[in-house]
Structure 1
Amino acid sequence: MEFADLIKTPKLDGVFLHDPQPLQHANAATVGTLCITGHHLLLSARQENSQELWLLHKDIDCVEKKPSMSQNVVVGGIITLKCKDLRIISLEIKYAKEFFNVSSSLEALSAIQNAELLYPFFYRPMYSILEDGYTMFRPELEFAKLISGVGMGGVSSPNVANITICMPSTSTSTSSVGSIPHPLQNGYALDAAAALVGGIGSGATVLACEWRVTNINKDFSVCATYGATLIVPKAITDEQIVLSASFRDGGRFPVLSYRHDNGATLMRSSQPLSIQGIKRCRADEAILNLVLGRSKKGFIVDTWGKGKSNTETDLHYSQWKKVNRSIGNVSSPASILDSFAKLIEACNETGCSTDKWLSRLEGSGWLSLVLNSLNASCVVAQCLDQEGSPVLVHGAKGLDSTLIVTSLVQIILNPDCRTVRGLQALIEREWIQAGHPFASRHRYSCYTPHQTRNKTSGATFVLFLDCIYQLFTQFPCSFEFNVLQTLLNPLYEPNANVIWPSVAPISLELWSELYLRWVIDQRSVTTVMSQVQELVTREKELRTQALKLRKQALELGQEVSALMNNADTA
């Protein structure tokens, strides 16, 4: 398929751009030239200081057509584009043929599903690439950091000095590792903590390890939604992994998600399958029993809700306590999107009274989903940090609510996940490598009519980001990144402590900078952030100046003391 086949009118003059939610451009329509390319819609008045539109086709969630009639004849019309970034814009076209051509082209281009035809495969950066995103967060290295306790600028926990990860190898003999180019390469085992801090010399020997890297899923035959490289207990064989996968929904057997400083491990999986005649899986039990270690008990947290999902039997998992922490009354990921759609519908309703608006906000159920997600995450974090017990988190298929909880737990407990690079690594590890179906979940957004969306659509990742926003509002100085306007947070101060958020309903805030970004003028927020940045910069300058003055005062004091001593001697 060629893009030219879908673009019936590539260029059109005299198109009016209307913004139903005007902010900086107070009700002023822009008249300009509309251009449609394979990936973008562009509209420009070709005048200085005029509004210009650059819109990616995949950002369009819904195309609505309203033809203009004159004597029962279509004479153009208005095309309303409702976008996934929550913006709503309208294009007014004067002529019927161009009106239908443009609308049909945008509908077709925004609905392309072949990934190889999407913009990233055509984009050619005009700058030098400093880091390759495909190799920046290699699973072996990231899990080595995870297990060893080494993070961005962090140090290894004293409790995990001898924790290692082993690559698949038939050899069990010790070996010198001084010349190994990669800490998890060529079948060698290496102490992960020492490797990451440069503490291994040419005479180091291989230590017994608790975890190993397995490539049993390299062809995705064991689990279609897991990555090719996985970290499992060393004592578990690949055969046991296959058996455990056959016991779990979608083959998502228990895998390592996070290891806390005290040694407690967080694992995730899907629910057990409900198959008549199969009530247990000894291989699955063996994985969880190994994770227990010296702990007398572990916790299995079900995020799907009691009675909705299958769970492990008490008889065969006697050391594991079942805890139900549903994130909401949702029967499918589409229910989360329905809640999100109601929220945005309420946010776009600017003409209703305050009481009615608050009623619609509550009726959307979105903030309840946020609250329950934080609540479940805090419960898991307490089990790990205060009980020192391992936790297995699962929902139904383990692709949505499970990933929200395991990710938030790490942000609460691990300060590295509150940095820019740490959050990138977390998303790579807990969402991309964990198989979250971004393509199907976010194919449609809140503006697509309910009857048009399929059941696999959802707003799971948006819910996760909203939860991060809630944590940020309660701990604004503990995050290196800023979820409001700019990328970097000028107030950031590294905080190595666990952050325990309040989960009281009164503690929640509506993320107005996102949900109301096209409804309420955000320039005041931008101005405040600029002022904060200036104050922080000025403070740093004054601190530097104060240190220099103190140093000068100390040197002058030493000179005065020396002169006085010389005078006394004379």
Structure 2
Amino acid sequence: MEFAEFIKTPMVNNVTLRRPFTRSLEGTLCVTGHQLILSSRDEKQEEVWMMHSMVDSVEKRLSGAGGTITLKCKDFVHMYLDMPSAEDCLNVAASVEQLSNIHDVSLKYPFFFRPLFDIMENGWDAYQPEREFSRHKEISEDWRLSYVNKDFQVCPSYPHAVIVPKVVDDETLVKAAGFRMGGRFPVFSFFHRESKAVLMRSSQPMTGQSGRRCKEDEKLINSILGKGRRGYIVDTRAQTVAKMAQSKGGGYEPEAHYPQWRRIHQPIERRQAFHDSLIKMIEASSDSGATMDKWLSKLESSAWLTHIKDILTTACVVAQCMDKEGTPVLVHGAEGSDTTLLVTSLSQLILDKDCRTVTGLAALIEREWVQAGHPFRFRCAKSAYAISKQRHESPVFLLFMDCVWQIWSQFPCSFEFNESFLVMLVQHAYFSQFGTFLCNNEAERKSYTLRDRTVSLWSYVNRPETIQKYINPLYDPNPVVIWPSVAPQSLNLWNSLYLRGQVNPGPQDEAWTEITKIRQYDKELTSKVNKLRRQLASLTREAVTAGVVLPSAMDGGGGGDESKTH
């Protein structure tokens, strides 16, 4: 396929771009295979590049001789292109609509992108399973890296290497995979150093109506328990839903076959409900003419914040089992690639201070989402404005980032990254010049040779000058567990993301800039004071060595009786 066949009008003069809270820009619009490029005619020669993949829907309105194209983007921003003629308006709108809906992965922009920055560290190597496993020296005696899935035959959505109990051989893993939906057998997710508790994740067992059992699966799960110890299985489905799954061949772990495990049902809505909820929430947010009561009613009926509450509640339950009781936890829902990952990743954010840094959050996303097989290509194909709804779409990762933001808002000093970092990650999940979120799993990434043909987002993020842009000036490392509140009054709408077209970010940006300056001045002043203290200590030592008698601190450094008379 040639991109040129979709581009009827490659260049249009006298086009005006209008964006919220930004001055209008007039210039020449060029339509390429992956970008809309607007070059202005002013002295600064400003250029605006807009990827077709960022567009969720295209609307056109003709007026007089010209027309206006409205681009509703996946990151909830609206942009308007005022065109000089109706023909150009219709042609450009048709081109953008077709180019923004290309489904062939090999034709996506990341395959054509060439970075203008030096790659200091290859992001594809940054968080490989081998490297992550080497960080957990405490578990090396009881756990091992298994390459049973090196050809992706055992589980198509798992990476080539997984961490499993050392006492379980690969043959047992293969049989356990046959008992779990999609082959997603229980694997290591996280080790809580303080309590020595382990977090695992999987998909649902295929017990079915006949109550089928798998001794290999039982052996795998029980192998992480010591003698007389118990563990928790946290199912993200309601008990009725889990029982209904049995009629379709799924189910849950029967207590008779897993006597050392206590099953807890923490209901989170299925991913199918998330997309409708997002659409309703964005509709409510876009209704600028609504009264307060109507707006609050529409927001409540969207159930978006309810989903967030349920997800955070379940993550807190898992974290509490591990931190307070020191018990191992296995988390699963149905497929094990959506709500399961929401819970395991947020539990780690609550328990582990390392996950609250820039590189720590990147590592968490890589191992718990990208490598764990969250189908980004399916889930993030469209956002809230798409005219047609695809069956596999769901804003699961967006919900994760929203939950991270909720915790970040409650503990603003405990996170190294700022809000802009979270917004940036959301944007790259939906449209990006990098290949990190392009496919559904590692098997797909390997088939498209992403490692060799595209650049990893982490190659960009892990550069010192990039990290600096996303540093939270209020950051004060907090080594303890943080417990977010899930009370209704503690959860808020993420204005900086969802209301980017209604709320001017300028004042808030200015405030953060001023805070950054103050913190920088404070650091410089502290550094100077510490330097003076070191110099004073050095001079004191030299004076003592030379036998000089220094004034006593008790008499204020004065000289004898005269100082006492004042």
TM-score range, shorter chain: 0.7 to 0.9
Matched, 1:91 2:72: no
Tell me, in whole angstroms, the C-alpha distance in 2 between the residues paired with 1:13 and 1:7.
16
Tell me, in whole angstroms, the C-alpha distance in 1 between the residues paired with 2:234 and 2:347.
13
> Which residue of 247, 250, 268 maps to 2:182?
250
Instruction: Give the aligned partner of residue 135 of structure 1.
Output: 125
Give the drift of 1:560. Answer: 5.1
Tell me, in whole angstroms, the C-alpha distance in 2 between the residues paired with 1:297 and 1:353.
53
> Which residue of 36, 48, 58 maps to 1:63?
58
Give the drift of 1:271. Answer: 0.8
What secondary structure is seen at the aligned counterpart in 1 of 2:22? coil
Q: Structure 1 residue runs of 4+, over 3 Å off?
A: 48-53, 274-278, 555-567
Instruction: Give the aligned partner of residue 426 of structure 2.
Output: none
Q: Which amino acid aligns with 2:224?
A: V
Instruction: Give the aligned partner of residue 343 of structure 2.
Output: 405
Partners of 1:269 and 1:398 within 8 A in 2: yes
Matched, 1:272 2:205: yes
Correspondence 1:109-508 to 2 at 5 A: 109-145=99-135, 147-148=136-137, 160=138, 163-164=139-140, 209-261=141-193, 262-277=195-210, 279-294=212-227, 296-309=229-242, 310-327=251-268, 330-331=269-270, 333-449=271-387, 452-484=388-420, 486-508=469-491
Partners of 1:34 and 1:44 within 8 A in 2: yes
Matched, 1:23 2:21: yes
Give the drift of 1:448. Answer: 1.0
Tell me, in whole angstroms, the C-alpha distance in 2 between the residues paired with 1:239 and 1:141.
25
Instruction: Give the aligned partner of residue 182 of structure 1.
Output: none
Q: Which amino acid aligns with 2:266?
A: R
Give the drift of 1:495. Answer: 1.7
Tell me, in whole angstroms, the C-alpha distance in 1 between the residues paired with 2:94 and 2:3.
13
Classify 1:355/1:523 alpha carbon distance in 2 versus 1 (closer, same or farther; 3 Å).
Answer: same
Partners of 1:420 and 1:481 within 8 A in 2: yes
Partners of 2:17 and 2:25 within 8 A in 1: yes
What secondary structure is seen at the aligned counterpart in 2 of 1:292? coil
User: How many pairs does the alignment contain?
Assistant: 495
What secondary structure is seen at the aligned counterpart in 2 of 1:55? strand
Structure 1, residues 426-482: CA drift from partner, whole Å, max 9, x if none?
A: 111000111000001000101113xx1122101011100011111111111111111
Structure 1, residues 68-121: CA drift from partner, whole Å, max 9, x if none?
A: 4x7xxxx54322110011111122324343222211111111011122211111
Tell me, in whole angstroms, the C-alpha distance in 1 between the residues paired with 2:112 and 2:305.
38
Partners of 1:304 and 1:401 within 8 A in 2: no
RMSD between aligned alpha carbons? 2.1
Classify 1:557/1:252 alpha carbon distance in 2 versus 1 (closer, same or farther; 3 Å).
Answer: same
Q: Which amino acid aligns with 2:412?
A: P
Task: Pick the structure with more helix per residue.
Answer: 2
Give the drift of 1:231. Answer: 1.1
Classify 1:554/1:396 alpha carbon distance in 2 versus 1 (closer, same or farther; 3 Å).
Answer: same
Tell me, in whole angstroms, the C-alpha distance in 2 between the residues paired with 1:39 and 1:498.
44
> Which residue of 40, 45, 48 maps to 1:45?
40
What secondary structure is seen at the aligned counterpart in 1 of 2:240? coil
TM score, norm. by length of structure 1: 0.83
The higher-RCO structure (CA 8 Å, 6+ apart) is 2
Give the drift of 1:295. Answer: 5.5
Partners of 2:199 and 2:330 within 8 A in 1: yes
Q: Which amino acid aligns with 2:366?
A: E
Classify 1:566/1:335 alpha carbon distance in 2 versus 1 (closer, same or farther; 3 Å).
Answer: closer
Classify 1:381/1:566 alpha carbon distance in 2 versus 1 (closer, same or farther; 3 Å).
Answer: closer
Classify 1:67/1:490 alpha carbon distance in 2 versus 1 (closer, same or farther; 3 Å).
Answer: same
Q: Which amino acid aligns with 2:525?
A: L
Tell me, in whole angstroms, the C-alpha distance in 2 between the residues paired with 1:355 and 1:561.
75
Partners of 2:15 and 2:84 within 8 A in 1: yes
Classify 1:564/1:135 alpha carbon distance in 2 versus 1 (closer, same or farther; 3 Å).
Answer: closer
Partners of 1:480 and 1:488 within 8 A in 2: yes
Instruction: Give the aligned partner of residue 10 of structure 2.
Output: 10
Partners of 1:24 and 1:521 within 8 A in 2: no
Tell me, in whole angstroms, the C-alpha distance in 1 between the residues paired with 2:548 and 2:532.
24
Give the drift of 1:531. Answer: 0.8
Structure 2 residues without counterparts, runs of 5 or longer = 243-250, 422-468, 551-566
Classify 1:562/1:2 alpha carbon distance in 2 versus 1 (closer, same or farther; 3 Å).
Answer: same
TM score, norm. by length of structure 2: 0.84
Partners of 2:67 and 2:89 within 8 A in 1: yes
Classify 1:276/1:508 alpha carbon distance in 2 versus 1 (closer, same or farther; 3 Å).
Answer: closer
Instruction: Give the aligned partner of residue 29 of structure 2.
Output: 34
Give the drift of 1:2. Answer: 1.5
Partners of 2:207 and 2:252 within 8 A in 1: no
What secondary structure is seen at the aligned counterpart in 1 of 2:188? strand
Q: Which amino acid aligns with 2:17?
A: L
Tell me, in whole angstroms, the C-alpha distance in 1 between the residues paired with 2:17 and 2:320.
52
Q: Which amino acid aligns with 1:321?
A: R
Instruction: Give the aligned partner of residue 49 of structure 2.
Output: 54
Structure 1 residues without counterparts, runs of 5 or longer = 149-159, 165-208
Tell me, in whole angstroms, the C-alpha distance in 2 between the residues paired with 1:23 and 1:358.
25
What secondary structure is seen at the aligned counterpart in 2 of 1:82? strand
Give the drift of 1:559. Answer: 5.1
What secondary structure is seen at the aligned counterpart in 2 of 1:41? strand
Give the drift of 1:58. Answer: 0.4
Classify 1:96/1:552 alpha carbon distance in 2 versus 1 (closer, same or farther; 3 Å).
Answer: closer
Classify 1:540/1:505 alpha carbon distance in 2 versus 1 (closer, same or farther; 3 Å).
Answer: same
